Each structure stands twice: as structure tokens, then as C-alpha cells.
Structure 1
Amino acid sequence: MSSFLFIFAIIMFGAGLYFAFFRWVLRYFDLKNDYYLITNQRIIIAEKSSKDIWKYKKLEEIDQVNIELNNRFFGNIIFGEPENIFGKNDEPFSLFKRRGINFDEDKYVFLSVEHIDEIIPLFEELGLKVNKTFY
């Protein structure tokens, strides 16, 4: 019985370590290998080494641009409505048939962007509604 508890504790420790640390390390390497493009027709997320386009979205499909930034103009650019952690009432995982919990990440997002203040006028010139949030 004690060996079962020891194995269970090791598994839980490994899962906690993954969610607390390793997941962000993997995310860092993904971000380091990506680059972002903005054209007059679409936004593009591509891989630096192979030049493959991972995702893109046409500008006419974007109703709003949400920008989360700090006082040094470093942060994230989310195209569309940001995902809410508490989700909606129809989320697959819900608490007491009320609000759900949303584990999805934003699909079209430029993560860890520097000098966002230089990019905001570009979105405004393209006719996109820009919402800024400082953290």
C-alpha cells in the first residue's frame, strides 16, 4: 500500500511540475521559433525555420483586437474576443450547472510582443477596433 502511495505522489509531483514549469518552457521554445506577419488582408503566424504558415486569419473576420500590455509596451495581442477562464454556461466542464471552466487558449494571438505601441496605429489604420488592457 505504501508503494502505491509513493508512486501516486511521484505522478502527482510530476504533473504539478509540468503544469507549473515545463509547459512554459515548451511554450518559450514555440514562441522563439514563431514569427508574426500583418498584411493588408490577413494576420499570419509562421515558423521561422521552415517558413511554414501555422495559422492565419483574414482581417474582415476580425471584429476586435484586444491588447494586453505592461507599462514598457510588452504583452499580447489577441485577435477577436479573449477567452474567459470561467467560460460560458455551455462549457463542457461546469460547476453546479452554472458557469463552466474554460481551458482553451486564444486561437489567434501574438504572444510576448515588444513595442506594441508602434503596432497599435497600424491596427487603427486597418479599421480594427482596438481595446487596450494594462497589467
Structure 2
Amino acid sequence: MSDKQSLGKKLENELENELEKDEVLIWSDYPKQSFQIVFEDLIIIPFLTIIFFIGVYLLIMVLNFDANKDLIIFSIFTVVISILLINYRYVQKVNIQKKSIYGLTSKRVIIIANNKIKSLDLIHIKEISFVEHPFNFKYGSVIFGEPENIFGSSNEPFKFNNRGGLNLKRDDFAFDFITDTKKIYHLIESKINK
């Protein structure tokens, strides 16, 4: 048995062990496990790239051309921060998704990711939405709570002329990069509306 299959069995067993006595597992699946780009990344990736190259440029200027030595701290800071953000947002996300499984039971939704178990009772779900990812329509996300929206809502702390804020954070509780997104969305919605 390969490492991926043994990890899959382990995650399925964890999901089964998480079930309560009167709970029935209706659906479970793994997220697509590869590098993903969502709509928000169309702003974040160029922004981080610009910050990285500004930091590299300043570092070259300081080291080679006797520029202001006070800039060395700022340039190192910008290079390190941009590398850390790219690493956490993209590289670590892939590693976490390799250790993830999603489940829908008769009472709640369960996400097991990176050896952490999160669950949300169906009766506590106030808002649910789904999004098909623009670069691969085969996959999508079912979002519990405020949906993915780069321009945020009208109650965001940062607003553009009272038209909505800027929301660049990923969803807190979502089934990310699953197949049959609409089907799963309607299945969960039917369980919520019972």
C-alpha cells in the first residue's frame, strides 16, 4: 500500500471515529491536492512579486552601490516577508490539503485538516454558498459563512467609497477544491432546510 493510500485510510478512520453514535456519514471526499490559484490570487501574487523585487532591488543597491545602509533592514524585511507569505499561502496549503478530508453527516459538516478536526453543526450554518474556481471549472468550494468575495461586503473595515471593502483572506470554514460542487452544495442546503 502506498503512502497516499495509507494516509487516505488513516483520514477515513479518523472521520469515522469522529462520528457520534446516532450520526450517519452521508458524504466524504478529499480536496484536489495540487497548487491552486483562486480569484483573490490575481491581486495577491503580483503584489507579493512587486514587494519581493523591490526588496531585492534595494538590497542590491545597498550592497553594491554604497546606498544608505539604513535600507538594508527594510530590504531584508521585504524579501523575507514576501517569501514567508508565498510559502505559507501556497506551499504550506498544498501540504495541509494532502492531510485533509471533508465529511457531511446527518448533523454536521466535518473538516479534518493537518491533524486538526473542525466541525460545524448544520443548525448553526447561517449562510452557505459555492464557487467554481475560474481556472478549473471541474473543482469548486462550498463555503460556510461569508462567501469568497475580493471586494468584501459593505461592513468590511476598509471600504472603497461605501461600496465594499477589500477581502483577501481565504475562507475560514469551507470544503475547498472538491468535485461536484453544485451537487454537494444542494445536498448540504437540503440538510440545513430540513
8 Å contact 2:97–2:113 — kept in the other structure?
Answer: no
8 Å contact 2:142–2:185 — kept in the other structure?
Answer: no
Query: For residues 103-114 of structure 1, what are the structure 2 equivalents within 5 Å?
Result: 104-114=169-179
Which ranges of structure 1 fall in alignment gaps of 5 or more residues? 129-135
Which ranges of structure 2 fall in alignment gaps of 5 or more residues? 1-66
Which residue number corresponds to residue 122 of structure 2?
A: 59
Give 1 or 2: higher helix fraction.
2
Q: Are the structure 2 counterparts of residues 22 and 3 from structure 1 closer, same or farther at C-alpha, using a change threshold of 3 Å? A: farther
Residue 102 of structure 1: CA displacement? 4.5
Residue type of the partner of 1:66?
S
When structure 1 is superposed on structure 2, of 32-41 and 3-12 the one drifting more is: 3-12
- What SS does the aligned partner of 1:126 have? helix
Identity %: 31
Residue 103 of structure 1: CA displacement? 5.5
8 Å contact 1:73–1:117 — kept in the other structure?
Answer: no
Query: For residues 1-135 of structure 1, what are the structure 2 equivalents within 5 Å?
Result: 2-47=68-113, 50=115, 52-53=116-117, 55-70=118-133, 72-82=137-147, 84-87=149-152, 94=158, 101-102=166-167, 104-128=169-193
8 Å contact 2:129–2:185 — kept in the other structure?
Answer: no
Which residue number corresponds to residue 133 of structure 1?
A: none
Normalising by structure 2, report the TM-score.
0.50
Q: CA separation in 2, counterparts of 1:30 and 1:64?
A: 25
The structure with the larger Rg is 2
Q: Are the structure 2 counterparts of residues 63 and 73 from structure 1 closer, same or farther at C-alpha, using a change threshold of 3 Å? A: farther
Normalising by structure 1, report the TM-score.
0.67
Q: CA RMSD in A?
A: 3.1
- What SS does the aligned partner of 1:106 have? coil
Residue 81 of structure 1: CA displacement? 2.4
Q: CA separation in 2, counterparts of 1:4 and 1:78?
A: 45
Q: CA separation in 1, counterparts of 2:86 and 2:113?
A: 26
Q: CA separation in 1, counterparts of 2:79 and 2:156?
A: 28
Q: Are the structure 2 counterparts of residues 87 and 69 from structure 1 closer, same or farther at C-alpha, using a change threshold of 3 Å? A: closer
Segments ≥4 residues shifted beyond 6 Å:
none
Residue 68 of structure 1: CA displacement? 0.7
